[in-house]
Structure 1
Amino acid sequence: MDIRRLQAFVKIIDLGSISRAADLLNIAQPALSQQLATLESAFKKKLVIRSKSGVTPTAAGSDLYRHAQTLIKQLDRAMVEISQGSGPLVGKVSVGLSPYSAGSTLSVELLHLVREKLPGITLHLTESFDDIYSELIMTGRLDMAVIHGAGPIKGVMFMPLMKEEFFLLAPESLELSSEEGGAVQLQDIVDIPLLVPPRHNFVRKSIDMAFLRKQLQPTIVAEIEALITLQYAIADGLGSTILPWSVASRIVVPGKSKIYPLQSPTIQEDVSLCMPEMIPETEASLAVRELLIEVAKSMAASRNWPGTHSAL
């Protein structure tokens, strides 16, 4: 099995087009089509479905794509590690960060530590609403991810890092009847306009479940992904939101917005480190993981993070 054929196959699936992949790889389209036909002959399976709009993988093609990603990444890692010998740790380590979670806050301190202690490692940080991080880890496209939830999902492992309580972030001008200590009950905010993440986000799922358990219907007026937009909208009095402290504390605007604890019920979610179950980890990724765990322990123990409890 020629690794170049697998690399070409991955590029075809990534681009959804044989002609575009041929252009990018600087290969004649008939030659690339022949490589694909050779793979289909070797596996005795049809790997792609051709249409006017391009190509899509069959079930067998999806399986091969996943395995090919793993093999290519392992080969790349082997070449880096062998060429560098026993010198300082080098290479690229990719970390996914779940939006609206502690991950995006942890990442800055992680970047500081990697630059200080592992200068030969290039840290690739990604934060996306659209990507399913567990799938990217299974295919080797991510080394690890900080996400809400704790599985189980076949093909990946979860290490709980902390539990995060959620808080109400509201405009300063909003008058709320809060309990002693400033806490607000869920039933008291059903009529205020809420700005929340999309339904596939774990924060949104936790919010929806909390209202459902109380048999309450929240007043959701907008779904917002961009934190900077959410920050300005709340400061301008357009609505409120419910977020973990790690996120709410980053976008609160003194004099224009305010954070309130929530109770009855308290909303909380696990934050976990998601790692590959089958793909061997490199020394570089293990070293970055240890630093990330160190950062998570420190932040969970900090008094500056109320409602956050370490799971380590």
Structure 2
Amino acid sequence: MNLRRLKYFIKIVDVGSLTQAADILHIAQPALSQQLASLEGEVKQQLLIRTKRGVTPTEAGNILYAHAQAILRQCEQAQSAIDGAGQALSGQVSVGLAPGTAASLLALPLMEEVRKQHPGILLYFNESFGTTLSELIMSGRMDMAVLYGNRQVHGLAFIPLMKEDLYLVTPQASASFGKTVTLQQIAHLELFLPRPYNIMRKLVDEAFVQKNLSYSVKCEIESASTLALALDNNLGSTILPESIARNMVAQAHARMAKIVDPGIQAPLSFCTSDHLPLSQPAEAVKKILLALMAERTQDNRPLTLVG
């Protein structure tokens, strides 16, 4: 396939209009339409559906769109590697850090260490939910991510990093537990939890099903700041991995208790594509990130916020 046509196709899909894409690409619309027709001829599939509102990709178009992004990204990485041969590493590296997890606490130490070892590398951090991050990696739009979960998925490769115990975090004013709390006790509380697709929610759901217990979700919250305010105002309790629980306790003047009977652990994993190679700068960042995690794991100390 012609790389220029792939670039044109991506731009058309991004803006949803042949006319607007032609303006952005500084090419006449008839010429752009001809390039699209040639691409459809090459793949022997209709790629776009034309409507009064613009264009939308067909199923084949969506598939090509994902592959085209990965192809062009690899071409850019190859050119960057060629340009930087024999020179200091440079280029952009994208790192996903799932929010509300120990992963997000790696940002500052990773930033500092990359700046120290490879000042020419430009880091891009994306703190989205785990499902979104894994999709970005599968499509080649993100290099790597640290997130909770390790269930094997086609297109992804996981390296286990550590496991964290889950803790109940409850307002200081209403705390009535010791250092541990059972699921039976938690079942009577009003909880703030993330949406059902979140790995933490799945782990909690599975634990309650295992004990044949039901529980009450007062509100679904995926914002750390909102969660801290809710706890600080004595509105309910939540369940978090140990590292995040410790920071939430400091923010919201709350208390934490380890969940037992049964204990629940969240696996933290390093995630990359299982078929798209990392660029040299990305490999360097991967090495630093894994070293930071190993350092904290060996010291047996939870990740905590700097400052």
Q: Which one-letter code corresponds to 1:68 in the other structure?
A: A
Q: Which one-letter code corresponds to 1:90 in the other structure?
A: S
Of 288, 293, 300, 2:297 maps to 300
Q: Distance in 2 between matches of 1:28 and 1:51?
A: 20
Q: Distance in 1 between matches of 2:173 and 2:298?
A: 32
SS at 1:259 equivalent = strand
Q: Which one-letter code corresponds to 1:38 in the other structure?
A: S
Q: Distance in 2 between matches of 1:82 and 1:21?
A: 30
Identity %: 42
What is the match of residue 79 of structure 1?
79
- Say whether 1:104 aligns with 2:104: yes
- Structure 1 stretch displaced more, 251-260 or 189-198: 251-260
Of 168, 171, 188, 2:185 maps to 188
Count of matched residue positions in the alignment of Structure 1 and Structure 2: 303
Q: Distance in 2 between matches of 1:248 and 1:117?
A: 32
What is the match of residue 114 of structure 1?
114
Relative to 1, partners in 2 of residues 1:261 and 1:32: Cα closer, same or farther, differing over 3 Å?
same
Is this contact kept in 2: 1:236–1:256, CA < 8 A? no
Q: CA deviation digits over 1:202-247, x for unaligned, max 9?
A: 1111111111211222111111111011111101111111011121
Relative to 1, partners in 2 of residues 1:169 and 1:17: Cα closer, same or farther, differing over 3 Å?
farther
What is the match of residue 23 of structure 1?
23
SS at 1:289 equivalent = helix
Q: Which one-letter code corresponds to 2:24 in the other structure?
A: L
Is this contact kept in 2: 1:211–1:217, CA < 8 A? yes
What is the match of residue 232 of structure 1?
229
Q: Distance in 1 between matches of 2:204 and 2:110?
A: 28
What is the match of residue 262 of structure 2?
265
Is this contact kept in 1: 2:130–2:198, CA < 8 A? no
Of 280, 284, 289, 2:281 maps to 284
What is the match of residue 309 of structure 1?
none
The unaligned stretches of length 5 or more in structure 1 are 307-312
Relative to 1, partners in 2 of residues 1:85 and 1:196: Cα closer, same or farther, differing over 3 Å?
same
Q: Distance in 1 between matches of 2:226 and 2:115?
A: 30
Structure 1 segment 1-312 matched on structure 2, within 5 A = 1-129=1-129, 132-178=132-178, 182-253=179-250, 256-305=253-302
Q: Distance in 2 between matches of 1:156 and 1:32?
A: 35
Q: Distance in 1 between matches of 2:33 and 2:252?
A: 63
Shift of 1:132: 2.4
Is this contact kept in 2: 1:177–1:188, CA < 8 A? no
SS at 1:242 equivalent = strand
Shift of 1:53: 4.2
Q: Distance in 2 between matches of 1:206 and 1:56?
A: 37
Q: Distance in 2 between matches of 1:20 and 1:129?
A: 32
Relative to 1, partners in 2 of residues 1:151 and 1:303: Cα closer, same or farther, differing over 3 Å?
closer
Q: Distance in 2 between matches of 1:73 and 1:206?
A: 35
TM-score by length of 1: 0.91
Q: Distance in 2 between matches of 1:151 and 1:54?
A: 39
Shift of 1:275: 1.1
Relative to 1, partners in 2 of residues 1:237 and 1:29: Cα closer, same or farther, differing over 3 Å?
farther
Q: Distance in 1 between matches of 2:273 and 2:261?
A: 37
- Structure 1 stretch displaced more, 208-217 or 88-97: 208-217
Shift of 1:251: 2.1
Shift of 1:135: 2.5
Shift of 1:114: 0.7
SS at 1:265 equivalent = coil
Relative to 1, partners in 2 of residues 1:101 and 1:36: Cα closer, same or farther, differing over 3 Å?
same
Taking only aligned residues, the RMSD between alpha carbons, in angstroms, comes to 1.9
Q: Distance in 2 between matches of 1:69 and 1:203?
A: 31
Q: CA deviation digits over 1:156-208, x for unaligned, max 9?
A: 21111111111111100113243xxx101111121221111111111111111
Relative to 1, partners in 2 of residues 1:188 and 1:237: Cα closer, same or farther, differing over 3 Å?
same
Is this contact kept in 1: 2:231–2:252, CA < 8 A? no
Is this contact kept in 1: 2:98–2:127, CA < 8 A? yes
SS at 1:269 equivalent = strand
Q: Distance in 2 between matches of 1:119 and 1:244?
A: 33
